[in-house]
A and B are shown apart, each in its own frame.
Chain A
């Protein structure tokens, strides 16, 4: 691991808000939502389905929050001038960029894992071992779309807007993408919107694993397309917006 990677990882991990919103909050939601909604179900099989579905949604919610939270911070580093600083050291700029992406990717894993553990041991979700592993792996891999989105937003927005975007974007993606309640509960018009959001397809990846052992091809394609689109836009913005435009 490069010293820069360790350094950046330590900075994000030191942020208590980050740990709270990306690990603790999704884990608590998993328990509460399952208790409330699952408690209304008559049969054990139905309760099991609800518990598994809520768990997948919260894994997705936590991972999206972590991916965005870890990467939108690029905006803060641009504002403080730190993003410019490594450019006058022998560290190549591509490595600086790569490290931010890698940190984002790594930090989505705790959210996914902790919610899965809560689902298994607190809510009693029963799945074959292979399915557990596939579920965690698929959601971890799929979080790349939100890492790319976070980098894009972090590079595009100024510090203050970015600070707001971390929270707002996560909430909008979760609420409208059907992570907090099933898409089927939304009115017709909003359902259409949900189907156009990456968060919906991200959760679909997980739901596919739970019901069929593997994610649906359409969900995989959708997430791959979002990742490519956000990534391409991020590279474009990085090229067009220099790290400084200071005359004098």
Chain B
């Protein structure tokens, strides 16, 4: 099983009641990669992470971690995780919690080095209840690293951090990749994916809509959005460079890869009240990626 990928997901589908959180998602992550799962809230990132950890039962599909089932991989200590809604116990000291988790793994990360790597110097004797948000995240990272697992899953690891804390955390994550860990992290910040990952997987509505290097993704999502007020009857088909059309009441929003061409065509047809043109946000870009319904996602090698 030495050759098995760190993570292999095939046709994963997860439902919460009637809602489909992850929809036939497939993804293979070779050993040693640092991968960002990028997407808006509710895109299915956490659900995917939880499925990889065996924390929920998928409706369909298969997850393999180093060629094993999630439960077996977790039991064998091959996976360390920072959960988005994970937490620390009250009435305990950081050192006690860390000690407990280190003992539960077959091989423990040497304590002195772990403390430095996770950046929790001076916190071991501190009560868990007295930690700041950023310190908690770092302690949770130290728990994920405690067993020196070859695969690390970090679900929005920097969500409780300020700008400085996030930058320091990115340095830590790059260091982990440098030590040969496979790191998969979920984020909704394009800059975070850009700073840390060598591969970005964009997830929207439970599906992979783009998969490639950060540079490839940025080219793919580098469009603009044009919004204006329009009569609901006005036809907006066949506009040049437009990848998606959304209407909210009288407001029309177009995603375009060439704002110049789109605007020229629109102006030729008539006025554009309340015109607004902006660079596409990640969310817009992701929306446009879904709307185009590409047969194969951007960057997926065929």
Contact = CB atoms under 8 A, between A and B. Distances in A.
Nearest to A246: B85
Interface residues of B, number: 44
Interface in B120-142: none
Nearest to B21: A247
A10 B90 CA distance: 11
A128 interface: no
Interface residues of A, number: 29
Contacts of B47: 247-248
Interface in A154-200: none
A11 interface: yes
B46 A3 contact: no
B89 A15 contact: no
Interface string A228-248: 000000000000001111111
Nearest to A245: B16
B86 A92 contact: no
Output the residue of B41, B53, B77, B91 with the most chain A CB within 10 A.
Answer: B91
B101 A89 contact: yes
Contacts, number: 105
A3 B16 contact: no
B74 A84 contact: no
A150 B56 CA distance: 26
Contacts of B97: 7
Interface stretch (B102-110, B162-170, B259-267, B276-284): B102-110
A89 B97 CA distance: 12
B42 A11 contact: no
A248 B87 contact: no
A89 B91 contact: no
B106 to A, nearest CB: 7
Interface stretch (A35-43, A75-83, A207-215): A75-83
A77 B88 CA distance: 8
Given A3-B99, A87-B53, A244 B85 contact: yes
Contact of B77 (A4, A86, A90, A248): A90
B81 interface: yes
B111 interface: no
12 contacts: A3-B103, A10-B92, A81-B87, A82-B86, A87-B74, A89-B74, A89-B104, A90-B76, A243-B55, A246-B84, A248-B44, A248-B47
Given A81-B85, A90-B106, A248-B41, 9 more contacts: A7-B92, A11-B91, A80-B90, A81-B83, A88-B55, A90-B104, A243-B55, A247-B19, A248-B47
